[in-house]
Structure 1
Amino acid sequence: MTGPLLGPADLAVRGESVLVLDATVELAAARHDGDHTSVSGLAGWQEAHIPGSRHADLLNLLSDPAAGYHFAAPEPAVLAAALSALGVRDGVPVVTYDRNGGMWAARLWWLLDWLGVEAYVLDGGFAAWQSSGLPVSSDSADSARPAAPSASARSEAVPRAGGRLTARVRDGRWIGKSDIQAWLEGEVEATLVCALNPEAYAGEVPTRYSRRGHIPGSGNLPARSLVGADGRFLPEAELRAALGGLADDPDPVWIYCGGGISATVVALALTVAGRPDVAIYDGSLEEWSADPALPLELGRPA
């Protein structure tokens, strides 16, 4: 495997040598400001999924319920334990996918990659798998089937089912509210980018959060602009063009969105373009907008 994206045919030939995780969450569009309605994607997985895959619950099990915002990244040890329960372990590559646009697969990939797990995203998700004519399962017993170690893992005698997951945390993957405040004060250099669609960035549509708008001074690169109509990432040359110079930006690149999900799509695209040193503001606008003392700006870029 090369790069973090994997096509359906490539996944199909890997078979049981990888662990496949469906990361889908059903998140409804906001009908009014503050409307944050989301449910687990487990029911959809039970109805139809890639054979042998398991459902990974980003809404509950892979998020920190004590945080002040949805989908907060857990502490590494807690996350590692939850991933271990799903069958993630040393020596077994993980492929993530979802059924609605790829942002949930990107979020799970980001969490896995943060812990140093060899992880990939199924480009185009479940729709690409189906359109390739590959088999679909509704067997819930799939969730109990362990993935087989890869050939390299077997040669290194990595533990099989029930084996360990060793978290090798990668530094510099997250920023917090205080980092953004320091940036606004001119104390640090960075390029801050909002991954929401232009309407949400401008504050023209209802938001799931307390207030509309974007962090002053931040640019706008919609996550959806990086994928084609088929849900797959743009070809390499087009993708670099769509990134608008971010791949070669000399400053650190910080990305936020509404809740740290769409931002991971941009982070994934930058990794595909050869830039892995990107940080996500996990609390994003859900955390930022909840503090009335923090500034938000309306309108589109000039």
Structure 2
Amino acid sequence: MAGPILTAGDLAVRLEQGTVAVLDATVNLGRPAHDGDHTSSSGRPGWEQAHIPGSHHVDLLHDLTDPAALYHFARPSPEALTAHLANLGIHDGTSVVTYDRSGGIWASRLWWLLDWIGIEAAVLDGGFAAWEAAGLPVSVLTPDSVTEIPAPALAACGQPASVDNVRAGRWVERADLERWLRDEAEATVLCALNPEAYAGEVPTRYARRGHIPGTGNLPARSLLAPDGRFRPLDDLRADLAGLLADPAPIWVYCGGGISAATLGLALTALGRDDVALYDGSLEEWSADGSLPIERGRADAGR
């Protein structure tokens, strides 16, 4: 694939050619009604009602997470991730396109996981809404239907993807952010939440409102057009020229490591190859009362 963002038309061609596997990553996660409200559910029922033909639903809420972690959506080990993907017929050499029905953040998160373990992947620009808007066919899962395995998966070997392909430098941990706050690490750190959540003006799913002190705010939604597609890359390149030229590595976070993946995807598409994601994000950070959090809006990073 030419890049990490794919149009609906291009995906339709690849499906017809049998050269790609398609994964729906949707999770249902509403706005918190009060602080600490982390209500969420699997997106599989929506996938069953309507999905891209030949696609599978993957569960980021339960299956592709680390059950031992103290926060939601924690990345699984490379071994657990490759084993689960092998059950879907996805191995070394399988090209994957991810999509969702929730504005693209879940598809971006799954893309980040796949790219981390060296699987060629892209995100469907605009998600399922763009697929439908293009007038492309939709499948419905009924009690009598059989889930289809995408053509390239049927042709793949039976071994999981090799963990030897795992990319270094894709994640930072809480300790890295603590070192950064002590000026012991060089990075530009950005929060992907909307300005209201960054500033602590609205209820949060987590223990405390606000953001990690000194971090900038680049809302993931600001990279998207009203229809959910990414804004033209040339426009983003112009708007983010200063960030793209920044010599420091870029670290991104949000509430739970999901919206931040959208920043990572966009920055990768724009040519940055040194973006790392703080997986625990504010859910982990805010749970420890000894760690600082601040409120208020800001336009630039530290």
| Corresponding position: 1:147 with 2:147 | no
Q: Which residue number in structure 1 is paired with residue 34 of structure 2?
A: 32
Q: How many residues align?
A: 295
For residue 156 of structure 2, what is the amino acid of its counterpart? R
| Corresponding position: 1:174 with 2:171 | yes
For residue 291 of structure 1, what is the amino acid of its counterpart? D
For residue 186 of structure 1, what is the amino acid of its counterpart? D
Q: Which residue number in structure 1 is paired with residue 234 of structure 2?
A: 237
Q: Which residue number in structure 1 is paired with residue 247 of structure 2?
A: 250
CA–CA distance in structure 2, aligned partners of residues 144 and 137 of structure 1: 10
- List aligned pairs for 1:44-55, cutoff 5 A: 44-55=46-57
Aligned Cα RMSD in Å?
1.6
State whether residues 101 and 125 of structure 1, in contact with CA within 8 Å, keep that contact through their aligned partners in structure 2.
yes
Residue 159 of structure 1 deviates from its aligned partner by 6.1
Q: Which residue number in structure 2 is paired with residue 21 of structure 1?
A: 23
Q: Which residue number in structure 2 is paired with residue 73 of structure 1?
A: 75
Q: 2:180 aligns with which of 176, 183, 191?
A: 183
Q: Which residue number in structure 1 is paired with residue 223 of structure 2?
A: 226
Where structure 1 has 5 or more consecutive residues not aligned to the other structure, the ranges are 151-157
Q: Deviations over 1:194-214 (max 9, x none)?
A: 000000000000000000000
CA–CA distance in structure 1, aligned partners of residues 211 and 88 of structure 2: 36
CA–CA distance in structure 1, aligned partners of residues 189 and 278 of structure 2: 10
Q: Deviations over 1:100-119 (max 9, x none)?
A: 10000000000000000000
State whether residues 212 and 298 of structure 1, in contact with CA within 8 Å, keep that contact through their aligned partners in structure 2.
yes
Q: Which residue number in structure 2 is paired with residue 160 of structure 1?
A: 156
State whether residues 102 and 265 of structure 1, in contact with CA within 8 Å, keep that contact through their aligned partners in structure 2.
yes
State whether residues 83 and 160 of structure 2, in contact with CA within 8 Å, keep that contact through their aligned partners in structure 1.
no
CA–CA distance in structure 1, aligned partners of residues 282 and 75 of structure 2: 15
Task: Among all aligned residue pairs of Structure 1 and Structure 2, give the percentage whose two residues are the same amino acid.
Answer: 63
Q: Which residue number in structure 1 is paired with residue 137 of structure 2?
A: 135
Q: Secondary structure at the match of 1:193?
A: strand
Are the structure 2 counterparts of residues 241 and 273 from structure 1 closer, same or farther at C-alpha, using a change threshold of 3 Å?
A: same
Where structure 2 has 5 or more consecutive residues not aligned to the other structure, the ranges are none
Q: Secondary structure at the match of 2:123?
A: strand
CA–CA distance in structure 1, aligned partners of residues 47 and 179 of structure 2: 42
CA–CA distance in structure 1, aligned partners of residues 113 and 281 of structure 2: 16
Q: Secondary structure at the match of 1:245?
A: helix
For residue 172 of structure 2, what is the amino acid of its counterpart? I
State whether residues 90 and 156 of structure 2, in contact with CA within 8 Å, keep that contact through their aligned partners in structure 1.
no
Residue 240 of structure 1 deviates from its aligned partner by 1.6
Q: Which residue number in structure 1 is paired with residue 6 of structure 2?
A: 6
- List aligned pairs for 1:280-299, cutoff 5 A: 280-299=277-296
CA–CA distance in structure 1, aligned partners of residues 126 and 298 of structure 2: 30
Residue 301 of structure 1 deviates from its aligned partner by 1.1
Q: Deviations over 1:200-250 (max 9, x none)?
A: 000000000000000000000000000001111111121123435222210
CA–CA distance in structure 1, aligned partners of residues 192 and 145 of structure 2: 34
Q: 1:100 aligns with which of 90, 99, 102?
A: 102
Normalising to structure 2: TM-score of the pair?
0.94
CA–CA distance in structure 2, aligned partners of residues 203 and 31 of structure 1: 14
Q: Secondary structure at the match of 2:152?
A: coil
Normalising to structure 1: TM-score of the pair?
0.94
